[in-house]
Amino acid sequence: MKTLLDHKQLNITLQRLAHQLIENHLSFKDTAIIGIQPRGVFLSDRIAQLVKDITKQEHIDYGKLDITFYRDDLRSNEIHVPKSTDVEFSIEGRNVILIDDVLHTGRTIRSAMDALIDFGRPSSVELLVLVDRRFSRELPVQPDYVGHTVDTIITQKVKVYWKEQDKKDEVVLID
């Protein structure tokens, strides 16, 4: 097991990601953040809060998206009971930033885009991930904002721990 990001590094990375988002989206007036359930939501909670703090805004449009019903592996894995989807605003014509913790095969993101389109037609969709496992993609999906890039083989696992759920902030690579 190898630590990719410890608590301190993780915080710096989150700060950088939030600043990059603001650099491209300024006031967030036409932009919405959507976290992917279940694990991407911990990251999107942090990012949304940072964006609000840095831009000194009370409110930005922030939602959570469950993609269970859109998965393409319903038959091969154990069936999942979904978490809640909560997108309380219109995404029609907005710039949407999808957020997930680890980008691996790209299948989750494919499902997420399908799920997203069912809520309307965003004018653009961007992808923010904390860890990009490059060279392991099965679909042509690339992130726009990356916290940390790793080269991994398929048997390895990247695990992101969050204080809210796991009592510590850490990103590790498990062999």
Partner 1 sequence: MSLSVKHLLGIKELQPEDIQTIFRTADNFKQVLQRPIKKVPSLRDTTIANVFFENSTRTRISFELAEKRLSADVVNFSASGSSVSKGETLIDTVNNILAMKVDMVVMRHSASGAPWFLANHINASIINAGDGVNEHPTQALLDAFSMREKHGDLKGKRVTIIGDILHSRVALSNIFCLKKLGAEVTVSGPPTLIPKHIRDLGVNVEYNVKKALEWCEIANVLRIQLERQNKPLFSTLREYSLYYGVNKDMLDSIKKDITIMHPGPINRGVEINSDVADSKQSIILGQVENGVAIRMAVLYLLSGKRDLTD
Provide φ and ψ at 43, rounded to 5°: -65, -45
Q: Interface with partner 1 includes 74 (CB under 8 A)?
A: yes
Give min distance, CB of 121 to partner 1, in A. Answer: 11
The residue count for binding partner 1 (CB under 8 A) is 19
Instruction: Calculate the CA dihedral of residues 159, 160, 165, 166 and round it to 10 degrees.
Output: 70
The minimum distance between CB 99 and partner 1, in angstroms, equals: 20
Closest to partner 1 by CB, 52 vs 120, is: 120
Residue 22's contacts (CB-CB under 8 Å, 6 or more residues apart) are: 28, 51, 54, 55
Does 38 help bind partner 1 (rule: CB under 8 A)? Answer: no
For position 89 contacting partner 1 by CB under 8 A, the verdict is no
Residue 26 or residue 74: which is nearer to partner 1 going by CB? 74
**69 binds partner 1 per the rule CB under 8 A:** yes
Q: At what angle do helices 40-55 and 7-25 cross, to 10 degrees?
A: 60
- Residue 4: closest CA among 132, 105, 128, 109: 132
| Torsion sign across C-alpha atoms 41, 46, 49, 52 | negative
**Residue 66 interacting with partner 1 (CB under 8 A):** yes
Asked if 80 is part of the footprint of partner 1 (rule: CB under 8 A), the reply reads yes
- In degrees and rounded to multiples of 5, residue 75 shows phi and psi of -85, -25
Among 79, 153, 155, 175, binds partner 1 (CB under 8 A): 79
Site residues (CB under 8 A) for partner 1, limited to 99-118: 114-115, 118
Cα–Cα nearest to 25, from 47, 10, 42: 47
Q: Which residues bind partner 1 (CB under 8 A)?
A: 66, 68-71, 74-75, 78-82, 84-85, 114-115, 118-120
